[in-house]
Amino acid sequence: MSSVDDAAGEQGALLALDDVKPPAPRGRRKAALGAQEMASELPVARVLLDLQPAHLDREYDYLVPASMADGAQPGTRVRARFGAQEVDGFVVARLASSEHDGRLVPLRRLVSAEVVLTPPVLRLVRAVAERWAGTTADVLRLAVPPRHARTEKEPAPDADDAPATPAPASWAGLWAPYRGGEAFLGHVARGGAPKAVWTPLPGLAPALEDGGVPTVTHWAAAVALAARAAVTAGRGVLVVVPDARDAGRVAAAVEAAGVPDVVRLLAEDGPAPRYRAFLAAARGRARVVVGTRAAMFAPVADLGLVAVWGDGEDTLAEPHAPYPHARDVLALRSDLEQAAYLLGSPGRTAAAQALLAGWAHEVVAPREVVRARAPRVRALTSTELAAEGPGAAARIPTAAWRAARDALAHGPVLVQVPRTGYLPVVACVRCRTPATCDACHGPLALGSGTAAPQCRWCGRLAAGWRCGECGSSGLRAVRVGSERTAEELGRAFPGVPVRVSTSTAPGGVMDRVPGRPAVVVATPGAEPVADGGYAAALLLDAAVATAAPGLDGATRALHRWLAAAHLVRPATAGGQVLLVGDAAPGPTGALVRFDPGGFADRELAERIELALPPAVRVAAVTGDRASVAALVGRVPLATPEATLGPVDVEQDAPGDGSLFDGAPVRVVVRVPSQHGLELARQLRASQAVRSAHREPGTLRVRLDPEELL
Partner DNA sequence: TCACAGTAACTC
Partner DNA sequence: AGTTACTGTGAG
Question: Where does this chain bind DNA (CB under 7 A)?
Answer: 51-53, 55-56, 59-63, 80-85, 98, 100, 102-105, 691-694
Which one, of 522, 555, 518, lies nearest residue 539 by Cα? Answer: 522
For residues 267 and 269, give the distance between their C-alpha atoms in angstroms, rounded to a whole number: 5
Q: Closest approach of Cβ 113 to DNA, in Å?
A: 20
C-alpha torsion sign, points 136, 142, 148, 152: negative
Q: Closest approach of Cβ 305 to DNA, in Å?
A: 38
Q: Closest approach of Cβ 436 to DNA, in Å?
A: 36
- Cite the beta strand spans of 603-695 per DSSP E: 616-624, 643-648, 664-672
**Choice between 100 and 460, CB closer to DNA:** 100
Q: Closest approach of Cβ 15 to DNA, in Å?
A: 10
Regarding beta strands 44-49 and 85-95, do their DSSP bridges make them parallel or antiparallel, or are they unpaired?
A: antiparallel
Q: Closest approach of Cβ 105 to DNA, in Å?
A: 4
**Choice between 106 and 705, CB closer to DNA:** 106
Q: Closest approach of Cβ 142 to DNA, in Å?
A: 19
Distance of CA 532 to the CA centre of its chain: 29
Q: Closest approach of Cβ 107 to DNA, in Å?
A: 8
For residues 126 and 637, give the distance between their C-alpha atoms in angstroms, rounded to a whole number: 22
Which residues share a beta bridge with 520?
414, 499
**Choice between 28 and 694, CB closer to DNA:** 694
Q: Closest approach of Cβ 691 to DNA, in Å?
A: 5
For residues 220 and 355, give the distance between their C-alpha atoms in angstroms, rounded to a whole number: 22
Q: Closest approach of Cβ 697 to DNA, in Å?
A: 11
**Choice between 102 and 636, CB closer to DNA:** 102
Q: Closest approach of Cβ 81 to DNA, in Å?
A: 6
Q: Which residues, 6+ apart, have CB-to-CB distance to 125 below 8 Å?
A: 117, 136, 139, 140, 143, 297
At 569, which amino acid appears?
R
At 622, which amino acid appears?
T
**Choice between 12 and 453, CB closer to DNA:** 12
Which one, of 146, 248, 228, lies nearest residue 186 by Cα? Answer: 228
Which residues share a beta bridge with 86?
81
Distance of CA 32 to the CA centre of its chain: 56
**Residue 184: half-sphere exposure toward Cβ, Cα within 13 Å:** 31
For residues 397 and 541, give the distance between their C-alpha atoms in angstroms, rounded to a whole number: 11
**Choice between 35 and 380, CB closer to DNA:** 35
**Choice between 491 and 694, CB closer to DNA:** 694
**Choice between 369 and 689, CB closer to DNA:** 689
Classify residue 540 by its DSSP letter.
-
Which one, of 341, 346, 345, 347, lies nearest residue 329 by Cα? Answer: 341
**Choice between 61 and 328, CB closer to DNA:** 61
**Choice between 647 and 692, CB closer to DNA:** 692
**Residue 202: half-sphere exposure toward Cβ, Cα within 13 Å:** 35
**Choice between 68 and 343, CB closer to DNA:** 68
10 Å CB burial of residue 440 (0-12, 13-18, 19+) is middle
Which one, of 412, 403, 399, 362, lies nearest residue 595 by Cα? Answer: 362
**Choice between 137 and 365, CB closer to DNA:** 137
Which one, of 507, 511, 505, 501, lies nearest residue 245 by Cα? Answer: 511
Q: Closest approach of Cβ 310 to DNA, in Å?
A: 36
Annotate 418-429 with b (16+ C-beta within 10 A) or e (fewer).
bbbbbbbbbbbe
**Choice between 55 and 405, CB closer to DNA:** 55
Q: Closest approach of Cβ 33 to DNA, in Å?
A: 18
**Choice between 267 and 689, CB closer to DNA:** 689
Q: Closest approach of Cβ 694 to DNA, in Å?
A: 6
The helix (run of H) or strand (run of E) holding residue 414 is strand 413-416
For residues 243 and 261, give the distance between their C-alpha atoms in angstroms, rounded to a whole number: 21
Q: Closest approach of Cβ 72 to DNA, in Å?
A: 13
**Choice between 35 and 498, CB closer to DNA:** 35
Q: Which residues, 6+ apart, have CB-to-CB distance to 82 below 8 Å?
A: 49, 51, 60
The radius of gyration computed from the CA coordinates of the chain, to the nearest angstrom, equals 29
Regarding beta strands 109-112 and 77-82, do their DSSP bridges make them parallel or antiparallel, or are they unpaired?
A: antiparallel
Q: Closest approach of Cβ 55 to DNA, in Å?
A: 6
Write the DSSP string, 270-297.
-HHHHHHHHHHHHTT--SEEEESGGGGG
Which residues share a beta bridge with 666?
622, 647
Q: What are phi and psi of 427, to 5 degrees?
A: -140, 170
Contact status, residue 300 vs residue 262, Cβ threshold 8 Å: no
